[in-house]
């Protein structure tokens, strides 16, 4: 019997797995791929972004609630999930920025913090790993740290002399950055909304983008997964403290999203197999 393919997606907080690459993971689960989401922190210092959930009882139990939300999202996506157990760093705001909390994820030594992820890679034995780029997708300290430990663990997991007490060496074959937003994607959705007589929530976003770098040219791999967009949105809504079901994320009609931009996009940054670019499959070249 052929070995099942395995995908590991490394994320910073509960809810990231549902807002970044979720339709792709749902697609691969449906196709028989084993998918493990690694959640680096518990999201304990996250904000409550849904006005309906902004209540004292929610704030008092935010850590437990976010774990329960992750349980619900995991069931919707059909994935496996593991916690690394680090403490959320929060998103510092102000000028000057306040220091990060003592003991938080972003202040850990990278080599030490990569250890638990190395152990998981050696236990789960993924063929493909996805994570964030060097700025974390957006510059949250936990997202940047997730990038750092993902790169370190990918490079160390297959070397027996590295972390020798953390299991038998296993080398993943490919590593991708999730490219959640590119100017081309936002422009396509914006123009599709206007063409159908709808208001677009993206106009101001596009104005702010002028003169700023666009990650679109970095995309190497576009995974067609439009039929799983509803699964993605159901998983997002499971994170009720983080997602307002009447908010920005759900203003674009589903059929229009599926037509205007039917893929989730990635950048291949490490590969030990022959997989000519561009790709339409994260497992291209993996036998």
| Residues tagged in the binding site annotation | 13, 16, 143
- 95: exposed, middle or buried (C-beta count within 10 Å: 0-12, 13-18, 19+)? exposed
CA distance 25 to 37: 9
Neighbours of 234 (CB within 10 A): 16
State the DSSP code for 279.
B
Q: Is the peptide bond before 185 cis (omega within 30 degrees of 0)?
A: no
User: Which single residue is written with the structure tokens 């989730």?
Assistant: 264
∠ CA 215-175-80 to the nearest 5 degrees? 110
What Cα–Cα distance (Å) separates residue 251 from each residue in 45, 190, 257, 263, 279?
27, 11, 10, 18, 30
> Of 183, 124, 184, 182, nearest to 154 (Cα)?
124
What number of H helices and E strands is found in the chain?
A: 10, 7
**Rounded to the nearest 5°, which phi and psi values hold at 131?**
-160, -165
Q: Tokens in use for 204?
A: 């101001």
Binding residues for Zn(2+): 13, 16, 143
Secondary structure element (H or E) that encloses residue 187, with its range = helix 183-195
Q: Tokens in use for 243?
A: 């997602």
SS3 249: helix
Residues with Cβ within 8 Å of 216's Cβ and at least 6 positions away in sequence, in order, are 179, 182, 183, 184, 185
Q: Tokens in use for 261?
A: 């931009």
């Amino acid at each position: 019997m052929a070995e099942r393919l395995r995908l590991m997606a490394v994320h910073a907080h509960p809810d990231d797995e549902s807002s970044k690459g979720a339709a792709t993971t749902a697609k691969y689960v449906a196709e028989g791929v084993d998918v493990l989401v690694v959640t680096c922190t518990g999201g304990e210092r996250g904000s409550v972004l849904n006005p309906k959930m902004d209540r004292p009882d929610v704030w008092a139990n935010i850590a437990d609630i976010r774990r329960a939300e992750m349980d619900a999202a995991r069931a919707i996506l059909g994935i496996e999930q593991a916690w690394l157990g680090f403490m959320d760093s929060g998103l510092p705001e102000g000028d000057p920025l306040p220091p990060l909390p003592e003991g938080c994820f972003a202040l850990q030594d990278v080599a030490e913090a990569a250890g638990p992820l190395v152990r998981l890679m050696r236990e789960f034995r993924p063929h493909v790993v996805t994570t964030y780029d060097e700025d974390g997708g957006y510059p949250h300290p936990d997202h940047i740290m997730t990038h750092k430990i993902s790169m370190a663990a990918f490079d160390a997991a297959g070397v027996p002399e590295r972390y020798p007490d953390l299991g038998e060496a296993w080398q993943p074959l490919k590593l991708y950055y999730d490219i959640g937003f590119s100017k081309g994607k936002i422009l396509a959705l914006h123009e599709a909304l206007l063409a159908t007589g709808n208001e677009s929530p993206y106009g101001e976003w596009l104005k702010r983008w002028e003169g700023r770098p666009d990650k679109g040219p970095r995309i190497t791999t576009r995974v067609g997964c439009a039929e799983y967009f509803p699964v993605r949105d159901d998983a997002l809504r499971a994170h009720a403290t983080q997602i307002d079901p009447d908010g920005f994320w759900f203003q674009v009609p589903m059929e229009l999203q599926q037509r205007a931009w039917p893929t989730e996009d990635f950048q291949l940054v490490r590969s030990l197999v022959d997989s000519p670019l561009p790709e339409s499959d994260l497992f291209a070249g993996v036998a």
